[in-house]
Amino acid sequence: MLDLIATLEAKGLAYRGATGDVYFSVRDFPGYGKLSRRNLDDLRSGERVAVEVAKRDPLDFVLWKAAKAGEPSWPSPFGAGRPGWHIECSAMACRELGVTFDIHGGGWDLQFPHHENEIAQSEGANAKPFVNVWMHAAFLNMGEEKMSKSLGNVSTAREVLASLDPVQGGEQLRFFLLRGHYRSEIEYTSELLQDAGNTLRGFYTALREVPPQDGALDWAHPIAVRFRDAMNDDFDTPVAFAVLHELRGEVNRSRSPGLAGLLKGLGATLGILQHDPEAFLKGGVSFDVEALVAERAAAKKAGQYARADAIRAELDAAGIVLEDRPGGSTEWRKK
């Protein structure tokens, strides 16, 4: 960080203020605002841009903050102090990923000023493009509210996973998050998460009924082409998932192992549909379902239909769905 700040100062892009802070001179960096499509003359001071008399321009931002009593500080050529909010990101990225790297992500609210300032620092110091592709994600909302610690409506991934089936839960959460486009806000509720799980189990049911054919994924297949085109279009997962839904319907209609293999192969690109279907659908059940299914079959055979119905109701309450098949066999799965 210190080397980066020193380079910016040597190039005339940083200056020391009267209070000992070191600032980046925004107006001396051509192209500032290009990421967020903002014009310098239209930007106002305020709104996360602190106005200080030590600045040459209200838009200038701090690279090194001079030490104040009671605050953490470190020695530097600019005096004791601490790094500004933005400089550590440029320093880490340049050291770990290179002067130029492919993809930089983050929430859309970081586009300005944080990412704009990262670009200014990095490109100002290195005179090379900083990032090839920027990907800014929208918020995950809890119901209709923005998830926020101040509102007390935060759920961590660990907490959500603890409430789900240990076998199905991770993929269910992934499936839920991938259904929405990364640049669109996603509404989280337990009902919507459950719906994602039901849909995912529908895919696995298709793969259980029609075992996939092994082999390399045929990217020349028209369905694969549509899927790839959607993913190549700024990761348009809603369209890609629509293709998968259509393919699942075709697998169910045609009973084609080749199409089932295509479904599994396309799912692999998203990290889904790779479990053994039978094991996935049964989930992490902690009691002997098979024994109850066998008892129900025996009860039906003996004409004890009340007991058979009671067993079905007991399993349903435990989250187990029974599927009676022609010929008398019964399959089961988690809800």
Element (H, E) at 146: strand 145-146
CA dihedral sign, ordered 294, 300, 303, 307 = positive
Q: Report pTM.
A: 0.82
One-letter identity of residue 291: A
Neighbours of 242 (CB within 10 A): 15
Given a contact cutoff of 8 angstroms between Cβ atoms, the answer to whether 238 and 179 are in contact is yes
Ranges of the chain whose pLDDT falls below 50: 45-49
Q: 246-270 pLDDT, tens per residue?
A: 999 999 999 999 999 999 999 999 9
Contacts of residue 169, Cβ cutoff 8 Å, sequence gap at least 6: 160, 161, 163
Write out the DSSP string of 72-112: --B--TT-SEEE-TTHHHHHHHHHHT-SSEEEEEEEGGGII
Considering Cα of 263, then 265, then 268, then 270, what sign does the dihedral take?
A: negative
Element holding 324 (H helix, E strand): strand 320-324
Residue owning tokens 């699942």: 248
Contact in structure between 90 and 122 (CB atoms under 8 Å) = yes
**CATH superfamily assigned to domain 2-137:** HUPs (3.40.50.620)
Neighbour count for residue 283 (Cβ, 10 Å):
20
What is the rounded distance in angstroms from the CA atom of residue 20 to the CA atom of residue 311? 77
Residue spans of the domains in the chain: they are 2-137, 142-280, 285-334
pLDDT of residue 257: 98
Overall CATH class of domain 142-280: mainly alpha
Of residues 158, 125, 140, 136, the one with CA closest to residue 10: 125
| Residue ranges in 269-304 assigned as alpha helix (H) | 277-282, 289-301
Nearest-angstrom CA–CA distance, 50 and 58: 7
Kindly provide the b/e burial profile for residues 133-152, where b requires at least 16 CB atoms within 10 angstroms of the residue's own CB: eeebbeeebbeeeeeeeeee
Q: Is residue 82 a contact partner of residue 74, using CB atoms and an 8 Å limit?
A: yes
Q: Return the pLDDT at 143.
A: 84
